[in-house]
Chain A
Amino acid sequence: KAGVTQTPRYLIKTRGQQVTLSCSPISGHRSVSWYQQTPGQGLQFLFEYFSETQRNKGNFPGRFSGRQFSNSRSEMNVSTLELGDSALYLCASSPDSYTGELFFGEGSRLTVL
C-alpha cells in the first residue's frame, strides 16, 4: 500500500510569490491534514479536509488556503510569501479523524528568499 505522497519535496521561492503544494493520501483515506513544522514552533496545525470539506482550521492567516478533491487528493496554497513561511509542510492522512491516528508524508521543504 503506497504511503502519503507529497510534491514537490523541495522548492525555493521569493517573497511575494505564491506556492501550491500537493498531497496524495493513502488509498481509502478520506481525511487530509496539513501541518507547518519549524524548528522553534514544532508542528502547527493548518487545516483538515474530509470529503472535500474543511472540517478544522488552525490559526494561520488567510494567505494559507487549501482544498480537497473528490479523489481525496489535497492541495495547499500560500500566497504573498513571507520569509517566515520557510518551513517543512507536512501532509497527513487518515481513514477519518476520529482517532487522531495520522499517517504523514515526508513533507515539502519550502524556502522563501
Chain B
Amino acid sequence: GQQLNQSPQSMFIQEGEDVSMNCTSSSIFNTWLWYKQDPGEGPVLLIALYKAGELTSNGRLTAQFGITRKDSFLNISASIPSDVGIYFCAGQGGANSKLTFGKGITLSVRP
C-alpha cells in the first residue's frame, strides 16, 4: 500500500534555528498536507498543497509540493519553544480518497 517516509524520528534544534523536514513516497499524491500535533491534542493542519511545484507559506512555515508529486518538504524558520510537537506529512491520492500519514517527526527546541 501507499507509505510516506519521514525521517529522522526525532529532531533536536536550538531556539532561533531553522529546520527542514521532508516526506517522500513511492506513490504519486495529488495533495500534500502538513499537520502538527501538540502533546495531549489532536493534529492541526498547518499547510495544504494542491499543485506540483507549489510553494506555500504560513507565517514562519514554508512548504513545497515536489515536482515529481512524490515528495514534500516543510521548513520552519527562527524556531521558538512552542514549535515543539510532532509534525506529520499526509498525502491524498485523489478527491475523496483517504489520507495516508507519515509516522511523524518529533521536534524538540532547546531554549
Q: Footprint of B on A, CB under 8 Å?
A: 4, 33, 35, 41-45, 48, 50, 55-56, 58-59, 90, 92, 96-107
Contact = CB atoms under 8 A, between A and B. Distances in A.
A41 B45 CA distance: 20
A58 B88 CA distance: 18
Contacts of A90: 42-43
B96 to A, nearest CB: 5
A88 to B, nearest CB: 9
A21 B88 CA distance: 24
Given A33-B98, A42-B102, A100-B92, A106 B31 contact: no
Nearest to A106: B42
Given A100-B31, A100-B33, A58 B42 contact: no
B101 A43 contact: yes
